[in-house]
Amino acid sequence: MTTNDVLSLLRDNIRNLKPYTSARDEFTGTAQIFIDANENPIGSVGGSNNNRYPDPYQRELKGRIAALKGVPAEHIFLGNGSDEAIDLLFKAFCRPGIDKAIATPPTYGMYQVSADVNEVEIEEVSLTEDFQLNVPALLNHGFDKVKMLFLCSPNNPTGNLLKRADIEQVLRNFNGIVIVDEAYIDFSPEKSWSLELAKYPNLVVLQTFSKAWGLAAVRLGIAYASTEIIAVLNKIKLPYNISGPAQEAAFNALSAPGEKDRMVAAVLEERARLEAELVKFDSVLHIYPSDANFLLVKTTAPNELYDFLVDNEIVVRNRSRLALCEGCLRITVGTAEENTALLKAFSQFA
């Protein structure tokens, strides 16, 4: 697809939209006195320093992200979690009640929820038994009115990376936006698809600060895409979608990437231990290989195990009702102490 092909997918109302311009958009020079935005000039109640509206385009923060990730800032959009980017992509490209998107279950539930909110039908092309893309089924699928395709790699809840060659084939042959959700990329050895934007004008890559960076409460997600798609997302987002404290928290985190790497290494070490210990239990039938910070564990009695763990004050995710995940619990790698408690509970499950 060319950039023009991609832009032709936009809804007319979005293409023609005249965006809201905030006070901070209209003035970009330097000045001493800012009495343009009806803020409280004195300060913040409670003593914090939040009386001024934040940068609507998060320029400083994007500069840091660009430097760390090796992707120019004009290819970066920041959202209130990746969930905001997902919602905005539906708004930009899918006419309610008319257009459709494809998801590849078992996968992240937000694609369906966001589609439902936007009145967009999701067509499902299931992953194969080994949780890889069914490329022929995806590419033989009718594309009429299908504007977007969601891929998740490493996939949630299965934990595995999708094969690069498969994603590449889909990117080359699907006539719509291909969204590659990399929420768990930091736990995997794979390099990000965000480095391939120049090759694929229809590619959108999602990452998040919620997992490896340990900033789930901050609510910050990244979308990488062509400058044209980024411009559209900027045009339709709420003016100040990333709060000042959120921008600050992420900015500070980005000055300590080594700390993130140490945490990831600790999680991976614990993941290996959990895997090695869990397989020993009779109640565990299989542990799927994971490139993420969780394990998908096939068990003999998922509902009973789930309840038993809850009785032991341990909450895991019961995914046993999803097709291809029958019997499965999804277990996030905890701290060493938490994992030891989990293993103890498993050992007591009769």
Contact footprint for ligand PLP (CB under 6 A): 81-83, 108, 152, 156, 181, 183, 208, 210-211, 216, 221
Alpha-carbon distance of 90 to 99, in angstroms, equals 9
Work out how close the CB of 88 gets to ligand PLP at its nearest, in angstroms, rounded to a whole number: 12
Work out how close the CB of 312 gets to ligand PLP at its nearest, in angstroms, rounded to a whole number: 25
Alpha-carbon distance of 287 to 307, in angstroms, equals 20
Instruction: Tell me the CA distances in angstroms from 324 to 3, 288, 289, 316, 320, one per residue in order.
Output: 37, 12, 15, 18, 9
Cis peptide upstream of residue 105 (ω within 30 degrees of 0)? no
Comparison of 210 and 318: residue with beta carbon closer to ligand PLP: 210
Work out how close the CB of 278 gets to ligand PLP at its nearest, in angstroms, rounded to a whole number: 21
The residue type found at 172 is R
Comparison of 294 and 306: residue with beta carbon closer to ligand PLP: 294
Q: Are strands 146-152 and 177-181 parallel, antiparallel or unpaired?
A: parallel
The residue type found at 176 is G
Comparison of 108 and 187: residue with beta carbon closer to ligand PLP: 108
Closest residue by beta carbon to ligand PLP: 81
The residue type found at 207 is Q
Work out how close the CB of 259 gets to ligand PLP at its nearest, in angstroms, rounded to a whole number: 19
End-to-end CA distance of the chain: 56
SS3 of 203, please? strand
The vertex-77 CA angle with 72 and 79, nearest 5°, equals 150
140 CB-near residues (< 8 Å, 6+ apart):
none
Number of H helices, E strands in the chain: 13, 11
How many CB atoms lie under 10 A from the CB of residue 177? Answer: 24
268 CB-near residues (< 8 Å, 6+ apart):
187
Work out how close the CB of 207 gets to ligand PLP at its nearest, in angstroms, rounded to a whole number: 8
Work out how close the CB of 326 gets to ligand PLP at its nearest, in angstroms, rounded to a whole number: 21
Work out how close the CB of 81 gets to ligand PLP at its nearest, in angstroms, rounded to a whole number: 2
User: In terms of Cα–Cα distance, which of 249, 252, 189, 182 is closest to 211?
Assistant: 182
Which residues make beta-bridge pairs with 332? Answer: 294
Alpha-carbon distance of 13 to 311, in angstroms, equals 52
Work out how close the CB of 163 gets to ligand PLP at its nearest, in angstroms, rounded to a whole number: 18
Comparison of 181 and 186: residue with beta carbon closer to ligand PLP: 181
Work out how close the CB of 215 gets to ligand PLP at its nearest, in angstroms, rounded to a whole number: 9
Comparison of 1 and 329: residue with beta carbon closer to ligand PLP: 329
Q: Are strands 294-299 and 121-124 parallel, antiparallel or unpaired?
A: unpaired
Comparison of 143 and 240: residue with beta carbon closer to ligand PLP: 240
Comparison of 211 and 237: residue with beta carbon closer to ligand PLP: 211
Comparison of 152 and 204: residue with beta carbon closer to ligand PLP: 152
Comparison of 116 and 307: residue with beta carbon closer to ligand PLP: 116
